[in-house]
Amino acid sequence: MEILIAGHSGFCEGVERAFKIAVDTAKAGQPVFMLGNLVHNKQVVEKLKNQGVKTVSSVAEIPANSRGSLLISAHGVAPEIYQEAESKKLKIIDTTCPWVKKAQKIARELAAEGRPVIIVGDKGHPEVEALVGWSGGRGIVVEQTAELDKLALNPGDKVGIIAQTTQAEKHFSAMVTALKNKLKDVKEFDTICGATSKRQAAAIELARQVNLMLVIGDSMSANTKRLTELCSETGTTTHQIETAAGLDKNWLTGKKKVGVTAGASTPEWVIAEVIEKLKSRGGL
């Protein structure tokens, strides 16, 4: 059995940067609070917890006068979170991905022009919720083109459209086209992360060359979910797993070439364990 690994798999630069900042902050010795999950990966979050980082779901949970640091995740947060943290005199450690920062800036600028901001993304995802916050409440989240028909928009309305940074290029392009068919004045900004596009293209290319595709990543991870969808669309049997423990030996029966890719928040040590287990099939 031949094992092929897709290019651009595993930690992206933004996640690697966020993880390093979090680890360095934890070593400083002061109380560190992580708002939600730094990235969508249980193994990464658990490693940080083992280093003393405490997870909170809101700034309100942090004790007054804690004199600690607040880790803002790579997904970013709405502007009011910064204000809440400052009011508690917390040191803000902002690990927001630069690509997400760019999308936030564009959302704010479009809203300042008085435009509704169409956000193509996953409803309820932290990054998307933060983008709505940066739009000053003018953000409208849509997942599928059919949802555009339900929006209260008139042909003469001026709107903007951006994407969650982990969306598929093809999907965002289809949404833009559908919106432009309805409205004359549409400002579009492709805010999809460059690393995401390369990762998706590499995964699709590899999926077309193998008999089985394995996508490693947390079930919470939007970009991993997208990789699984795109690989499946090639017609190649595709399975998503979080760790080596999720491998099923029956998947490998009769498979001569197995492709492996991983989401942007999947650490190298998890990928290495999967590859090692595939190489020693007897251990499955």
* Strand pairing category for 139-142 and 257-262: unpaired
How far apart are alpha carbons 233 and 73 in whole angstroms? 31
CB contact at 8 A, 207 and 243: no
How far apart are alpha carbons 15 and 21 in whole angstroms? 10
- Strand, coil or helix: 173: helix
Residue 24's H or E segment, with its range, is helix 13-27
Q: Using alpha carbons, select from 261, 131, 271, 276 the residue that is nearest to residue 203.
A: 261
CB contact at 8 A, 163 and 127: no
Beta bridge partners of 186: 159
Amino acid, res. 9? S
Q: Does residue 127 carry a catalytic annotation?
A: yes
Q: Using alpha carbons, select from 220, 118, 230, 215 the residue that is nearest to residue 171.
A: 230
Q: Which of 16, 127, 188, 233 is catalytic?
A: 127
Active site residues per annotation: 127
